[in-house]
Amino acid sequence: MSKKIQLSSELDAGCSLDTYNVLSSKIDFGQNSTYKLFSKSVLDSSFIKQTQVPPYEVSKRQEKIHRREEKGKTKGKEWFNMKLGDMTEEAKNDLVLIKMRAGLHKDRFYKHNDSDELPKFFQMGKIVDNPVDYYSDRIPKKQQKKTILEELMEDAKLKKFAKKQYSAIQQREEHRRKKLSQIFKNKKQSQNKKVKSKK
């Protein structure tokens, strides 16, 4: 006895179609969404007006110029492609201080700088304290400063050294002024004697 099999007119995939519905009411098909899409499109009104499609390839000369520009933005492979530093006022002051470090610490020797200009490529870092170190070995957060300049302004040793240097310079200047005034007085006296002797 043969059974008749009735085929179903639809297949049940075992999942609800609402979750995969592409034509959901949440998607905005208004004018704003189409405008946003066309703003990113290559085919705009200026493209349509062209007589021929512009070539996609870039010339070798343009590639060379682009490579040179990109190369100028970094220091090079030897310096791990260090990028240009942001030259803010604070960074500029810190770099100037680093250049003048030989004057700040007379007891230490620093190699002479290669150039007088400030470097274009630089990176600022922050020293992170080791949690293993004892508390007295670390600098407390209240004493930590944002820039090198602020740190040096708080250094008592450096203040003492600066005062000593300033007083030494003042004494030298005063001695020089006295010497010059004495020389001018002697010259005037000798000129006055010559004038009197002529009379």
What is the pLDDT at residue 146? 87
Q: Bridge partners of 83?
A: 74
pLDDT above 90 coverage of the chain, percent: 23
Q: Domain map of the chain by residue range?
A: 85-154, 158-194
Is the pLDDT at 188 greater than 60? The verdict is yes
Encode pLDDT of 115-168 as tens digits.
889 999 999 888 888 888 887 788 888 888 888 888 888 888 888 888 898 999
Q: What is the mean pLDDT of residues 88-99?
A: 92
Q: pLDDT band at residue 1, thresholds of 50, 70 and 90? A: low
What is the pLDDT at residue 65? 94
Q: What is the mean pLDDT of residues 97-115?
A: 85
Higher pLDDT, 4 or 61: 61
Is the pLDDT at 14 greater than 70? The verdict is no
Encode pLDDT of 17-60 as tens digits.
666 655 555 555 555 666 676 666 667 777 777 777 776 788 89
Higher pLDDT, 33 or 110: 110
Q: Bridge partners of 5?
A: none
Structure tokens at 173: 């200047």
Averaged pLDDT of the chain:
80
Q: Residues 6 or more apart from 118 whose CB is under 8 A from it?
A: 87, 92, 95, 96, 99
Higher pLDDT, 70 or 194: 70
pTM: 0.53
Long-range pairs, 77-85, Cβ under 8 A, ≥24: 79/121, 82/121, 82/122, 82/123, 83/121, 84/120, 84/121, 85/119, 85/120, 85/121, 85/122, 85/123, 85/124
